[in-house]
Amino acid sequence: MRFADPLSVVCSSCGKEGSYAPRDLVALRSRCLHCSSSLESIGQEMRGHLSDWSGYLAKIDLAIALERVSSLEIPDAELETLRTPFEVLQFYRSRPTSAASYEDLEIEALTWLTLARHTTACSGDLEREFTELFSVKEHP
């Protein structure tokens, strides 16, 4: 998305509309073309939406990885309510029909988290919310 189409934005300071590169907005580098005010609040809002989406996709990916290990599927409605990898693990722990032990699932979750985030994961990371673990700081 390096050459994404400009995004039409209304400046909160002067109320005028302008076209801005999404990359610059998310990087918090954009200034109003008319009054030179920072458009940081718009960029922060965009980061929030991107982090929500990124966290949601990560939750689905983790569920798929754990479904393979356990042979147990999480219903979509249940998955929607889970906010941390630990809560996903707790879902499996509460199901005696799982084909894998809790320890196997935890190892799989930590391995998946390490690969997904490109950094070594620890058990403390399992208690962090998906949106925090996969927060967006720059344009993807």
**Residue-by-residue pLDDT tens, the chain, 140 positions:** 455 689 999 999 999 999 999 989 999 999 999 999 999 999 999 999 999 999 999 999 999 999 988 888 999 999 999 999 999 999 988 887 777 788 889 999 999 999 999 999 999 999 999 999 999 887 66
Per-residue pLDDT at 96: 78
Is the distance from CB of 30 to CB of 39 less than 8 angstroms?
yes
Domain locations in the chain as residue ranges: 7-41, 49-133
pLDDT for 103 equals 87
Write phi, then psi, for 74 (nearest 5 degrees).
-90, 125
DSSP class of residue 1 equals -
Fold for the domain defined by 7-41 = SH3 type barrels. (2.30.30)
Other C-beta atoms within 10 Å of 12: how many?
Answer: 13
> Which tokens hold the place of 20?
């801005």
Q: What tokens does 11 get?
A: 């400046």
Give the per-residue pLDDT at 1.
46
DSSP for 98-135? Answer: -SS-HHHHHHHHHHHHHHHHTS---GGGGGS-HHHHT-
